[in-house]
Amino acid sequence: MPSSWKSAVLVLLLIGGLPALAAEPRANTSLDVEVPDVELVDQTGRTVKLWTDLVRGHTVAINFIFTRCKTICSPMTATMARVQKELGTGSNVRFISITLDVANDTPERMAKFAEPFKPGPGWSFLTGEPAKVKQALVALGGYVPDKEAHRPTVLVGNAVSDTWTRVDGLGSPSTLLAAVREAEAASSGPSELEPQEADARAQDAASARYFTNTELVDQHGKTHRFYEDLVRGRKVLINFAFTSCKGACSPITKHLAQVQEKLGGRVGKDITMITLSVDPANDTPKSLGVFTQKMGVKPGWYFLTGARENISLVLKKLGGYVVDPDAHNTTLLIGDAATGMWVKSPAMARVENIVYAVEHLNDPR
């Protein structure tokens, strides 16, 4: 790698941690749970693997519901929503609700059921093929022949320490919160993982805390969780722009379109390109869509906007936040959250240099 790149290492300090919240004590019950890696479908229509995509490396709270339920499902979901809100946007805890009525509960119906509870990022409402849903329910202790007879329990676990317990889903939110906190704490104890795997999980958890799963919206109007959907498990190129810019934004975008061309089919697979709007008040998905069409942007490159507080949070994490959009920086960040290796470059650096930096990012130095 050229020496100029060696001096461009950008250290992103991964700091995190959740505020301590008071909660009433709860008796612990240890369970033996093996989570199957079945493919299910979430409320957005996205196919996810239960273990690989949702549970592995995380603390989780899982309940079992169905959308036509007239009794306990809504109160249980409300309790889960209260706990997720208490944990805050920086939490790495996953919430999972699995249907007991796969014949009726389509992704669209699951999304409609979830809407009144305002679930945050990291909460998946799951349905899918009957056999796969049943396999998940049986493994997690949620299966019942008659859905109307299901119990109001929440399975709380930590996949790192492999500790699991069940909590009354109709109990107070503080009781469930205490169980979640206890499960989180379990991951800091001794681990039987191989050192390399333990390091990888620790890196993933730290990256998730730092980058957050803040929801942003792309040029097509699709909502993404920033870390899990766009950063995790791939190399990323990140820059900052806005559509009404009269200076550097258009030339930079055209230049990076050449980088995308050189990287080829990898963009959208193991490489993601991200442009964050520094003017969310004016940059709507529609205006971003028009801008990207003019610039020749191809799939795998996401132009992101969203609620001001959401986009501002991510911009501040990445050093791209400015009060005046015209004062935004023209830095290009290139990184891999899995390895923790990040470099920065002028966005107008030679195309060949940028491509080289991406392809050799994790080379030994």
Q: What tens digit of pLDDT does each residue of 314-345 get?
A: 999 999 999 999 999 999 999 998 888 999 99
Q: Does 39-194 match 3-9+212-359 at the fold level?
A: yes
Mean per-residue pLDDT over the chain, rounded: 87
- Average pLDDT of 104-120? 96
C-alpha torsion 328→232→307→223, nearest 10: 130
Selected residue with higher pLDDT from 193 and 129? 129
Selected residue with higher pLDDT from 34 and 126? 126
Q: Are 139 and 156 in contact (CB under 8 A)?
A: no
Instruction: Give dist(CA 132, CA 72) in Å, integer.
Output: 24
| Domain 39-194 = CATH 3.30.530.20 | no
Specify the DSSP element, H or E, that contains 65: strand 59-65
Least Cα distance to 332 among 350, 315, 345 occurs for: 345
The most distant pair of C-alpha atoms in the chain lies apart, rounded to whole Å, by 67
Least Cα distance to 311 among 283, 344, 278, 287 occurs for: 278
- Residue recorded with tokens 């889960």: 80
Domain locations in the chain as residue ranges:
3-9+212-359, 39-194
Tokens for 279?
């003017």
Q: State which fold the 3-9+212-359 domain adopts.
A: Glutaredoxin (3.40.30)
Tokens for 53?
């995509």
Is 0.95 surpassed by the pTM of this model? Answer: no
Tokens for 71?
């009794």
- pLDDT reported for residue 31: 80
- Is residue 11's pLDDT more than 80? no
- pLDDT reported for residue 188: 55
- pLDDT reported for residue 363: 87
Task: Give the residue ranges of DSSP H helices in the chain.
Answer: 3-6, 73-87, 107-114, 130-140, 173-186, 195-211, 249-263, 285-295, 308-317, 351-359
